[in-house]
Chains A and B, each alone.
Chain A
Amino acid sequence: MSFDSVGVVSVGETEKRRPETTEDRRSLEEYYTEAARLTLAETPIEVADVDGLGIIASMTDTPPIYPGMLAETLGFADLTWTAQADAGGSSALTLVRQAAMAIETGAAETVLCLGADTPIDPGDDGLFPSDPRGYAKNYLDPFGTQGPTARLAHVKTVHMDEYGTTAEQLSNVAITQREHAVANPLAYFDSPIDRAEYLDSEFIAEPVRLYDCVIPVNAGFGVLLTTADRATESADHPVHIAGIGECTNPSLGIPPDVTSTGIAPATRDAFAETDREPADADFLQLYDDYPIVVAMQLEDLGLCAKGEGGDLLASADLRYDGDRPLNTSGGQLSAGQPGMAGGFVQLVEGVRQLQGEGGDRQVPDPEWGIVTGVGGIGYAKNLRHNTVGVLGRGEDA
C-alpha cells in the first residue's frame, strides 16, 4: 500500500559502540533518548507534539508493557497510538508501515518511530541468549545449531550448489560496503578490506565466513513521520512513502524452496500503487545480514533471474556513485547491526540519501530508492520476515 497523506520529516542515528567496560556502556533507554533527541533536533517538532510512538522489541531483555514504560520515562504523553514491532531486521520497516497507516487513517498525526538495542554488554559473554521456549530451543539448539549463522548457512549451501554462486561474487558486497563505511562517520568500521582478506577469513559455519557476518553494535535510531502537509512545513526535504509491502512466513512450497524469499511478494505489494520499476531505483538499501541474503534479494526484487544474484553482484558497480548503489552507509556488515534495530540502518540511510544528507557517499541526485528488511530464519525454510519499502523525494509525490 502507499501513503500519500504521510511525509517523513527527519531521521536520527547515534554512533555505534562495542563497549568493553561497564563504564563505557550506555543503557537501552539512553540510546532511545539520544535517538529521539537527534531525530527531533533539526525540526520544529517537539516531544509534546508527538502523539504516536513506535519502538522495536530488542534483544536486550525488557519487561512486559515496555513501550508505555519508555513513553512514561521519556515524557511522551497523551499518545493516541503506540506499537512495538517484533520482526528482527524487518522491524524498522514494518514499524514505519504501521505508523504510516496510523497517520493515513487519522489515528495519530505525528509519530516517532524509534529503534535501539544493546547487544554488546561487557558483563555478558554470549551474543544470543538462550530461548525460554519454542522450536529453536527444542529442535535446533540441541544439535549445535544455535544462532542465525549456523542456520542461514544451510540456505547458502543450497544456493551455491544449485546456482554456482561463488564466494568471489559475494565478496563484492563486503568490500564495497566497507568502502561506504569508511566514508560514513557514523559507521563502526573505518578501514577497507580487499578480496584476499575476505576469502582468507575463517569459516564460522561453512560456507559462511567471518567477513560474511555483521558487526554487532549498540546504537539507536529514529524516524519522524507526520501528515504530508505538516511534513512540508517541518522539513526542507520531506520524504514520501510510495509503498511498503510485507510477507511473513512465505509458504514457498512443500518442501519449501530455500533459495527464494518473501521479498518477491513484498515487492509486488510495495510497487502496487506506483508506476516505478525496481530496476530503476536510484539506490538499494538491502538488509545485509549476510551477502548471500543480498544476492537473493536482488533476484526476488526482480533485478535478475533466480540464481543470478551472484552474477549481478560481480557485474554491477555497487558503489554510491555506480550504477547500482548498494548499502551506502555500510550496512549491517560495516556500519553495524544494533541488534533488533538493525533495519533502521537501511531505512535511515534511504531517507538521508533522499534528503541530500549522504555526505561523502551521497548518491548523485537520487529521486527514489528501495529499502528492505528481513528477519528470522525459519526451520528448514529461508527468511521468515520480509519487507520492502519504496521511498521517494517528497516533491515527487
Chain B
Amino acid sequence: MTGLREVIAALFGRRRDGAAPRQHGRATAGAGSDEAGSNADGPSEPREDAGADPPEPYDKPLPDIHEQPHAEPFWAATTEERLLVQHCRDCGEFQYFPRPWCHHCASDDIEWTEAEGVGTVYSYTIVRTTVSNPEFAGDVPYVTAYVELAEGPRMLTMLTGCSPDAVERGMPVEVRFEHVTDDVALPLFEPQ
C-alpha cells in the first residue's frame, strides 16, 4: 500500500520544478516487542497456521506503559481486561485519557473507577490509505472511532468485528481487549 507521498507524486504528476515522480520503497518503522506469542496481526483475524511458524513480533506502535506513573494502573488493568477511567471527587467529572490531575477543575482528588465497558460511536473514520503508519497497511480498510463511554468521556479506539461500511454514528459498542504483547493489551471496541 503506497503512502501519501507516493500517491501525491503519482497522481498529481507535473509540478513547477519539472521533476518526474519517483518510486521508492517504504521501510516499516518498527516500534514493537519481540515477545514470543504476541499477536502479530493486531486487530485482524487470527492466522490459520498460528501453530506452524514462530509468531512475528508486534511491529505496530505501542504505548509506553511506564512513561507516566499516574497512568500505569490504566495499562495494568487492560491486561486484566478491565477498563479504568479517572473520576474526580471534587467536580464529579470523569476523564480519559489518564491525566496527572483533573483536567476539568485541576483537583488532585481523583480516583480510578472501572468503566462499564460500553458506549456509542460518536465519530469515526475509515482509514483507506496509510500515511505515516505503514505498520497498519495490512489492516486497510480499518475504522478508528471516538467511542462515547457510558461514563461520559470519549476515547479513541479501533472498531473491529464489523464491516467498515456498516459503522454508523450512535451505534452501541462494547470493549474487547487485544493482548498485543505480554505487557500491553489495547482496548478495542466492537458492536454490542
Contacts and interface: CB of A to CB of B under 8 A. Distances in A.
Nearest to B28: A125
B126 A206 contact: yes
B146 A144 contact: no
A207 B97 CA distance: 25
A255 B60 contact: no
Interface residues of B, number: 59
Contacts of A127: 3-5, 131-132
A133 B8 CA distance: 29
B142 to A, nearest CB: 6
Given A154-B123, A254-B104, A380-B146, A138 B64 contact: yes
A135 to B, nearest CB: 5
A154 B125 contact: yes
A303 interface: no
28 contacts: A18-B17, A20-B22, A125-B27, A125-B134, A137-B63, A139-B63, A144-B139, A146-B132, A147-B131, A149-B131, A154-B123, A155-B123, A158-B122, A158-B123, A188-B15, A188-B16, A202-B128, A204-B131, A206-B127, A206-B128, A208-B125, A210-B8, A210-B11, A213-B4, A215-B8, A215-B12, A216-B5, A380-B154
Given A142-B60, A146-B133, A255 B148 contact: yes
Interface of A: 15-18, 20, 24, 120, 125-128, 130, 133, 135, 137-147, 149-150, 153-155, 157-158, 161, 185, 187-191, 201-208, 210, 213, 215-216, 254-255, 258, 379-380
B63 A142 contact: yes
B31 interface: yes
B158 A144 contact: yes
B128 A144 contact: no
Most buried by B among A142, A213, A255: A142
A150 B15 contact: no
Given A130-B61, A157-B124, A202 B146 contact: no
Contacts of B76: none
B93 A254 contact: yes
B65 to A, nearest CB: 8
A208 B155 CA distance: 21
A20 B24 CA distance: 10
B127 A205 contact: yes
Interface of B: 3-5, 7-8, 11-17, 19, 22, 24-27, 29, 31, 60-64, 67-68, 71, 93, 97, 104, 122-129, 131-134, 136, 139, 142, 144, 146, 148, 152-158, 169, 186, 188
A138 B133 contact: no
A150 B61 contact: no
A366 to B, nearest CB: 26
Given A140-B156, A204-B4, A210-B8, A258 B132 contact: no
Given A20-B19, A379-B156, A154 B146 contact: yes
B67 A133 contact: yes
A202 B97 contact: no
B45 to A, nearest CB: 16
B132 A142 contact: no
Given A127-B4, A140-B156, A154 B15 contact: no
Contact of B125 (A16, A135, A150, A202): A150
A5 B127 CA distance: 50
Contacts of A191: 13-14
A205 B123 contact: no
Contact of A144 (B31, B142, B148): B142
Contacts of A144: 60, 127, 133, 136, 139, 142, 144, 158
Given A144-B142, A150-B131, A189 B63 contact: no
Contacts of B27: 125
Most buried by A among B5, B64, B156: B156
Given A125-B26, A161-B169, A202-B7, A190 B16 contact: yes
A380 B15 contact: no
Given A158-B123, A204-B128, A150 B186 contact: no
A156 B38 CA distance: 35
B125 A207 contact: yes
